[in-house]
Structure 1
Amino acid sequence: MNKLYRLLIIDDETSICTSLSFALEDKYHIYTAHNEADALSIIKNTHIDIVILDLRLGGVSGIDVLKKIRELSLDTVVIIMTAYGSIESSVKAMKSGAFYYITKPINIEELNLLLMKVEEYINLNTKIRYLSNNINGNSKYNIIGNSKKIKQVFDLIDRVKDVDINLLITGESGTGKELVARAVHFHGNRKNGPFNVINCSAIPNNLLESELFGYKKGAFTGALDEKKGIIELSNKGTLFLDEIGDMDMNLQTKLLRVIQEKEIRPIGATRNIKLDVRFVSATNKDLKVEIKENRFREDLFYRLNVITIKLPPLRERKEDISKLVEYFIKDINVKFDRDVKGISSGALKALENYKFKGNVRELRNIIERAIALSEDEYIKEEDLSEEIFIKENIFVDNTKFIPIYVGDSMKEAERKIIKYTLHKFDGNRKKTAEILGIGERTLRYKIKEYKL
């Protein structure tokens, strides 16, 4: 759904305002003003995206009005209309901050083309402001939050980024482990070197070795050319080994040798290559348990785990949720070309009470879905998925609330009523059947039908 921009037409001729309003009303929210005072009042009280301003507004110079508009709103794009079309007046208007000018009588096709350029300009500026806020806003190292636990992470990054030792980043899926790895590299003493990422769980073991170490031409069937491995490509920089806990034991042995000797031998090669690589690893597994189960080498663990940075799950830093939501709304607005302004207090409270299993990544997905479905300027409770309101995820007393929305079928409403009542009575079927006024046999049938 594309945003309808607010467009103000300022002209002392009523006929001009009327005709332009009629021509543009399907594409814009139209406002009109016939004098300076009304125009400035509208701009003070309403965010106007685009102004079409007559160069002569009765006895007032349009240039003077333009300057006052710029003082009130730097973001508003102003197009000057002139019946004279003189180069001098047009240049003066552009120097005073006009985006462009158009001559009377207005050619609507020409105006529409100009307005398309204005929209592109506004969209570009929006993205630039967003990126600027992202870099300079409520974040550090591009990680959003100011809770005590996330500040402890920032403190560790500050202390280790310039120290050439290997790091292990631990935390559940979706907590932002790669963000920390990037922060350590791009803010540390290796920032001018390469930063490479390889996901040890996403590549089959028979291919992972060649991806890590590279190979010589003819080393195996299909090796038609020489290929450098990602370890060699990371020389003088950082290699981020994501999901290191899923690496095959045989490869763990070879990686340990690389870390110890600081050199690699590509597959099929006869000589070793000296390297200077910082290894940053990440896992969502407990590697000490993996060691006990003989799935991870203890000596490799101690080589990788010189310093550990543990990322807290989102449920342990709930005070960061509002800032994350604000950040995601801005980001997704740009992605979807939407203008969602925020989130209702009820919806935010529901998110703050939700036990995020997918952490920050899950929160982003929730906000993206809500913005895609919402038809309002604010995300409301009904824009959130029903799972957020299930009893086991709620810490506040909401046991009387069942999220049934306009458009739900009768079967869906019945399924929800049975499901939430069962939750209320901890799965007690007798009590549930009694409360719902149905027989236990009927309840058993419904549970089976709805796969509860």
Structure 2
Amino acid sequence: MKNKILIIDDEKNICTSLTYALEDLHEVSTVTNPKEGLALLKETNFDLVLLDLRIGKISGLDILKSIKTIDPDIVVIMMTAFGSIDSTIEAIKNGAFTYLTKPLNINELIVTIDKALEFRELNKKVAYLNNELKNKYSYNGIIGKSSFMKNVFTLIDKLKDVDTNVLITGESGTGKELVARAIHYGGKRSNENFVEINCAAIPDGLLEGELFGHKRGAFTGADRDSIGKFEFADKGTILLDEIGDMSLTLQAKLLRVLEQKEFTPLGSNTPIKLKARVLASTNRDLKKLMEEGLFRNDLFFRLNVIEINLPPLRDKKEDLPLLFQHFIEMYNREFGKQGTRLSPAAEELLLNYPYPGNIRELSNIIECGVLLAKGDTIEIEDLPEKIRMGKAYSQLAQKSNPFLGLRLDEIEKRIIKETLELNKGHRKATAQMLGISERGLRNKIKEYGL
């Protein structure tokens, strides 16, 4: 079967001569009006477009962007009599395969078309294989092939259709919300509401009303009834994110709700039956908080029937290549690009980076690389500076300067933590060593969950 080629050029004689030169090899269609060309692309699956850079007063680069919107996978070869380095770079950046200058050399054009079509077929095969890998090593949007992630997938599969309470733990950025969503959307409650509430983001005085709702007049400013998250979740799932930051008073009320399977809105005397499944997640060490009297033991054991612990990215680096490809494809779609890939040197640096921000940080790094890549390859210079430092960064961060590249609050947290460990938890000695008051130290310990 012949490949379908569309020629968009406002010069009829160019269209005629190119048709004559290519029609024995390919099925050729031509238009002199760009709007007609775009309309034809929506109706017919073309394999390749030959596009003039200047069509009357219309820029071929604008037409190129529209073509890529209609079909991101189509191969476009730009043609122009106005050879220019700037326009060449712009065309390639916007997804053109290559750029030929008029008058066209027919033999060169035929060879270029063959290469472009080979490139298209190769991309199809790569996309197919990547999709096969994703299907094999993913679970409802969570990607990984490490033994850690296989265990997580197994747990999700066992838990999705039961009502057991689950506690999801792990550092920030490891994907705790994704696991909660996978449990919900993979199971029998998938057609019901999924509701997430961040217990650390809402002031304690307002969190109770957010969770359980309130009646008009329950407190100053309550001018109408409000449905809480538990009631809105109905027969679905509610995720209590950052549960370790909930106050002891509210912990007691939550425990009562879980035990009695009902809750009462503020200002009401009528309890409402709890129908939702409750999941909880945290990046804090709840066992340590229990030892310090900041988290209730009975609530911990009520929530932690089953624990799913998500390891940091640095402990499952065999998942990195799959994640690289996933985020590259995601940002290719967002930025209207295609075929972007990592250069071997850039990939090596990314494989050796420790990722203190875990998957969330990796996503940001790949977004930067895809956005800054000049062609279809992400080079070292397209990556953030901390990555470009490569192994030197990793060695410095882990050995000579453990605080290099961390935010100031992260540095403060680590200093307080390590000083506490040095003084075996003795707060007065720690405060004296750090040059702050015991009250100030107590506030910092609570703030950082130490």
- Measured against the shorter chain, the TM-score band is 0.5 to 0.7
> 1:212·1:229 contact (CA, 8 Å) conserved in 2?
yes
When Rg is computed on C-alpha atoms for both structures, the one with the higher figure is 1
1: CA distance, partners of 2:383 / 2:172 = 22
> What is the identity percentage for the equivalent residue pairs of Structure 1 and Structure 2?
46
Alignment of 1:207-356 (within 5 A): 207-339=206-338, 341-356=340-355
Per-residue CA shift, 1:161-201, capped at 9, x if unaligned?
A: 11111000011111100000000001112112211000111
> 2:160·2:186 contact (CA, 8 Å) conserved in 1?
yes
**Matching residue of 2:386:** 387
2: CA distance, partners of 1:368 / 1:315 = 19
Structure 1 stretch displaced more, 219-228 or 113-122? 113-122
1:240–1:125 distance in 2 versus 1, CA, 3 Å: farther
1:10–1:208 distance in 2 versus 1, CA, 3 Å: closer
What SS class does the counterpart of residue 71 from structure 2 fall into? helix
Alignment of 1:364-403 (within 5 A): 364-388=363-387, 389=390, 391=392, 393-394=394-395
1:250–1:316 distance in 2 versus 1, CA, 3 Å: same
**Matching residue of 2:70:** 121
State the 1:148 CA deviation.
1.4
Per-residue CA shift, 1:292-351, capped at 9, x if unaligned?
A: 011111100001000001111111111111111111111111112233520011111111
Which amino acid is 1:242 matched to?
D
State the 1:383 CA deviation.
1.8
**Matching residue of 1:103:** none
State the 1:370 CA deviation.
1.7
1: CA distance, partners of 2:58 / 2:372 = 35
> 2:338·2:376 contact (CA, 8 Å) conserved in 1?
yes
1:119–1:353 distance in 2 versus 1, CA, 3 Å: closer
Per-residue CA shift, 1:259-279, capped at 9, x if unaligned?
A: 000100100001111121211
1:145–1:34 distance in 2 versus 1, CA, 3 Å: farther
2: CA distance, partners of 1:188 / 1:220 = 39
> 1:343·1:378 contact (CA, 8 Å) conserved in 2?
yes
1:97–1:377 distance in 2 versus 1, CA, 3 Å: closer
> 2:386·2:393 contact (CA, 8 Å) conserved in 1?
no
2: CA distance, partners of 1:9 / 1:302 = 68
> 1:139·1:145 contact (CA, 8 Å) conserved in 2?
yes
State the 1:120 CA deviation.
3.7
Which amino acid is 1:295 matched to?
L
**Matching residue of 2:21:** 35
2: CA distance, partners of 1:229 / 1:194 = 13
> 2:353·2:394 contact (CA, 8 Å) conserved in 1?
yes
State the 1:118 CA deviation.
4.4
2: CA distance, partners of 1:280 / 1:96 = 48
Alignment of 1:16-31 (within 5 A): 16-17=14-15
2: CA distance, partners of 1:328 / 1:95 = 31
Structure 1 stretch displaced more, 271-280 or 149-158? 271-280
1: CA distance, partners of 2:73 / 2:267 = 50
State the 1:391 CA deviation.
2.9
1:344–1:124 distance in 2 versus 1, CA, 3 Å: closer
> 1:215·1:268 contact (CA, 8 Å) conserved in 2?
yes
TM-score of the pair, normalised by structure 2: 0.64
**Matching residue of 1:150:** 149
2: CA distance, partners of 1:175 / 1:98 = 42
2: CA distance, partners of 1:171 / 1:264 = 29
What SS class does the counterpart of residue 191 from structure 2 fall into? coil
1:125–1:148 distance in 2 versus 1, CA, 3 Å: farther
**Matching residue of 2:113:** none
> 1:249·1:296 contact (CA, 8 Å) conserved in 2?
yes
Per-residue CA shift, 1:7-37, capped at 9, x if unaligned?
A: 86399x9832499xxxxxxxxxxxx564236
> 1:167·1:309 contact (CA, 8 Å) conserved in 2?
yes
Equivalenced residues, count: 325
What SS class does the counterpart of residue 7 from structure 2 fall into? strand
**Matching residue of 2:421:** none
**Matching residue of 1:87:** none
State the 1:81 CA deviation.
4.2
TM-align CA RMSD: 3.8
What SS class does the counterpart of residue 189 from structure 2 fall into? coil
1:226–1:14 distance in 2 versus 1, CA, 3 Å: closer
Per-residue CA shift, 1:132-186, capped at 9, x if unaligned?
A: 9598575221111111111110011011111111000011111100000000001
**Matching residue of 1:57:** none
TM-score of the pair, normalised by structure 1: 0.64
Structure 1 stretch displaced more, 201-210 or 178-187? 201-210
- Structure 2 gaps of 5+ residues are 34-39, 48-54, 76-123, 401-450
> 1:340·1:371 contact (CA, 8 Å) conserved in 2?
no
**Matching residue of 1:55:** none
State the 1:369 CA deviation.
1.3
**Matching residue of 1:446:** none
What SS class does the counterpart of residue 369 from structure 2 fall into? helix
Which amino acid is 2:70 matched to?
Y
2: CA distance, partners of 1:212 / 1:163 = 23
Per-residue CA shift, 1:378-402, capped at 9, x if unaligned?
A: 111222223232635159xxx9xxx
2: CA distance, partners of 1:378 / 1:136 = 25
**Matching residue of 1:9:** 7
**Matching residue of 1:435:** none
1: CA distance, partners of 2:206 / 2:171 = 26
> 1:354·1:394 contact (CA, 8 Å) conserved in 2?
no
Which amino acid is 1:280 matched to?
L
Which amino acid is 1:121 matched to?
I
> 1:80·1:98 contact (CA, 8 Å) conserved in 2?
no
